[in-house]
């Protein structure tokens, strides 16, 4: 964890702090309740959201979270016209959460930990450049300040139509459904996630490492159902997020670079906004489906 603080400073420079009209419930707590909840750091942030957000930072209420994610992938078999592709996903995430409690004269509470969610993903080619990608993951998270832990899970599928071209403008489309959540002590949270989005790519007429360079702009909307995306904060109580929107811009290439077994074909930045003032900025390294 020694490397967490330098990248936290870098992520903090990217953190966004604009307001959004509340769209979900919020419950104010008394000072005594805040003091009690500030000692339960394993229950103070959504472990699943932190593990899948990506590399960047987000903020909601008095909580700020900086995240560094390494999306390691091992390809067992590439998809073809006659057979499915298979990948083992091994994403590891380091997160630092800080809760500003100055209004209650309690200073700041910090949670520092990591998650590891190994899983498997199939890649099933369909017609007209579409692919179906069912997946399942099961992993764990550890919070180091107070030696607590959690269990995380995710199962679902994505439908993707990739249409990038270095000779003409193209539109890629994606959709995702996932049932996911975590257990952390007595805290249990699950959600049903629906995402839909697209990306427009325009050739720039130049090449990098024999790969045509593209300008990409993306828009992704997400809705959370079941218990929704629940953020348990020490001072604000329970803040829920039922929807969020992300806008991104990046430079992309048609043929991806392989880094740590994973494909990287974008480099850019995305801004995310959701209910109850959720704001975030993250690094973009691929089409998000």
Indicate the burial class of 134 (C-beta count within 10 angstroms; 0-12, 13-18, 19 or more): middle
User: Which fold, 4-284?
Assistant: Lipocalin (2.40.128)
The predicted structure's pLDDT at residue 45: 76
pLDDT(114) > 90: yes
Domain boundaries, the chain: 4-284
The predicted structure's pLDDT at residue 13: 33
Condensed to tens digits (0 to 9), the pLDDT of residues 223-261 reads 998 767 888 787 777 888 999 999 999 999 988 887 765
Condensed to tens digits (0 to 9), the pLDDT of residues 273-286 reads 999 999 999 999 98
The overall average pLDDT reported for the chain is 83
Contact 91, 72 (CB under 8 A): yes
pLDDT(18) > 50: no
Contact 242, 224 (CB under 8 A): yes
The predicted structure's pLDDT at residue 174: 97
Condensed to tens digits (0 to 9), the pLDDT of residues 173-188 reads 999 999 999 988 777 8
The predicted structure's pLDDT at residue 172: 94
Condensed to tens digits (0 to 9), the pLDDT of residues 70-89 reads 988 888 998 988 899 999 99
Condensed to tens digits (0 to 9), the pLDDT of residues 27-44 reads 556 777 777 766 766 677
Alpha-carbon span 164 to 168, nearest angstrom: 8
Q: How far is CA 58 from CA 54, 113, 174, 277, in A?
A: 10, 16, 23, 10
Query: Tokens at residue 254, please?
Result: 């048609």
């Amino acid at each position: 964890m020694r490397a967490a603080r330098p990248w936290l400073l870098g992520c903090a420079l990217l953190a966004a702090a604009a307001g959004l009209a509340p769209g979900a419930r919020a419950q104010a707590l008394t000072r005594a309740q805040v003091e009690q909840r500030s000692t339960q750091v394993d229950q103070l942030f959504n472990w699943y959201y932190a593990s899948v957000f990506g590399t960047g930072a987000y903020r909601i209420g008095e909580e700020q979270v900086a995240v560094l994610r390494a999306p390691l992938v091992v390809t067992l078999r590439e998809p073809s016209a006659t057979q499915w592709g298979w990948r083992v996903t091994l994403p590891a995430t380091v997160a630092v959460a800080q809760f500003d409690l100055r209004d209650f004269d309690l200073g700041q509470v910090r949670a520092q930990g990591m998650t590891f969610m190994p899983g498997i993903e199939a890649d099933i080619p369909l017609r007209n450049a579409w692919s179906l990608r069912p997946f399942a993951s099961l992993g764990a998270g550890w919070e180091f300040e107070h030696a607590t832990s959690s269990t995380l899970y995710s199962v679902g599928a994505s439908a993707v139509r990739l249409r990038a071209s270095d000779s003409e403008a193209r539109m890629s489309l994606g959709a995702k459904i996932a049932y996911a959540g975590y257990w952390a002590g007595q805290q249990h949270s699950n959600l049903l996630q629906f995402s839909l989005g697209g990306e427009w790519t325009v050739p720039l007429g130049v090449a990098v490492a024999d790969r045509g360079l593209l300008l990409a702009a993306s828009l992704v909307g997400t809705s959370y159902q079941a218990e929704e995306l629940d953020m348990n904060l020490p001072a604000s109580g329970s803040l829920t997020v039922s929807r969020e929107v992300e806008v991104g811009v990046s430079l992309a290439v048609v043929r991806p670079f392989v880094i740590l077994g994973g494909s990287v074909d974008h480099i850019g930045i995305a801004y995310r906004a959701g209910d109850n003032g959720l704001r975030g900025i993250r690094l973009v390294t691929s089409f998000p489906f």
